[in-house]
Structure 1
């Protein structure tokens, strides 16, 4: 399976501009033969544009999700729609199961090649260190697991990387490929690289860590990019710098099987 990690240049609050960039990158990825595209965390409004979250929050039946579903279907490519600010009240009114009936969530959606919505993931661990995320948003309470192209794919988001117990829960659900839409800033580059590699090594799974690019002057923050695809040994099979780009890599179920058979550490869990 060919994966496209779209390291998008995200402009704060420039939703239409960011969507247009995502649209173009997804079409290019599909044209190049990618089976799955992954967008960064808060790719529409920008993670650090906290004041704009209420203005740009959408329910799961909003036209934004229809647009993303059509984009996947029109191009025959599966899509992890990074994350957006979800209005839980609007989603609840539309009949969706939500962790709260008011407030907002940091929400990613997995669309299949035909535009079918396969899973919804709301970020579990909300960042509290010099960030308004934990004040503004409601944490998720369910897992996202999807069977696709012979792999069992689990979705997590950014700060989740620091909490390995979440990944063990996904492992127990059979996950062998992890996608991590993120908005990871400077200066914590070493954390970003080490944690992504660690989650791959300890779970003997692929990790597709997709970060954004761009600066947020209001928050004095700049995303560090460096999207990376790790194989189950923790080896980087493709890695980006800090500029906007689309990173492509091959992920194969047979590789997971081979690594887990040759180094059966997971069987020694107690």
Structure 2
């Protein structure tokens, strides 16, 4: 965890952001309770001076609560996202909401945001800035099919979610996306300093969870904030262990499997300095 907290709304150094992975307890199909726990975590993090809070994958209903997906789906301008936008603005703290189950038809009808299909559902993250403005939408590209109903129930995304929050350029991927490093190269080409990775990573693949986010940080010379949930769905339990990695792959802050706020200082200037000191990205050669 980081050291002394700062007052909510306090001015921050232009080059430093305090980033928190909110490893909240996620209960299956408990939409109202999960949202309240998410809001409370954002408020606590903001009180401790956080500038950006990253929530876990499917924090609204729990990843493995597949029977609840359709019932709880909302648009990106639905009640839950409006609530989090309000909290972000009230607390002067950017929020990576998610993910949640997005109703694509509702989004198409209610907003001008492009959707990959005019019906169905997506595993969607929404990034709000410190004023509560929606800055990016990311729909999970790689849907998990191993012992999961995700591929049957959801539509994969087709675009990247990247936004400059005012000195910090943030990209988003989700959980299983960690196994597909080419996606992270696309984010590097968009200039990201930090990749936020909302996740619902279960046992027994603890070593994979500790390896893959670190590898993505090392090979792309950027920060990675891997935010997992704390949850027990009976046959499936999440490993927790949310971690913020720096551009060398060093874990700056991490947790066990219990609910926690995992906070670290992120310096976009350090990304530039590391890439200059060790210019591996310049040596990339594309396949013939």
TM-score band w.r.t. shorter chain: over 0.9
What corresponds to 2:227 in structure 1?
A: 210
The answer for unaligned runs of 5 or more in structure 2 is 1-16
Aligned to 2:182: 165
Distance 1:16 1:137 in 2: 22
Match of 2:35, SS state, is: helix
**Equivalents in 2 of 1:259, 1:208: separation in Å?**
18
Matches within 5 A, 1:14-163: 14-94=30-110, 95-163=112-180
Name the SS for the 1:5 alignment partner: strand
Summarize deviations over 1:76-115 as a string: whole Å, max 9, x none: 1000001000001111112431000111000000001110
How many residues align? The count is: 268
Unaligned runs of 5+ in 1: none
Aligned counterparts of 1:74 and 1:151: Cα–Cα separation in 2: 20
The counterpart of 1:262, out of the listed 277, 281, 287, is: 277
2:247 to 232, 246, 253: 232
Partners in 2 of 1:4 and 1:173 — Cα distance?
23
TM-score by length of 2: 0.92
Partner of 1:243: 258
Q: TM-score, normalised by structure 1?
A: 0.98
Q: Secondary structure at the match of 2:238?
A: strand
Judge which range, 220-229 or 54-63, deviates more. Answer: 54-63
Out of 111-120 and 143-152, give the one that drifted further.
Answer: 143-152
Q: Is the 8 A contact 2:35 2:80 kept in 1?
A: no
1:31-74: per-residue Cα shift (whole Å, max 9, x none)?
Answer: 11000001000001000000110000001221211111101011
SS in structure 2 at match of 1:256: helix
Deviant stretches of 4+, over 2 Å? none
Query: 2: CA distance between counterparts of 1:123 and 1:24?
Result: 25
CA distance in 2, matches of 1:15, 1:234: 35
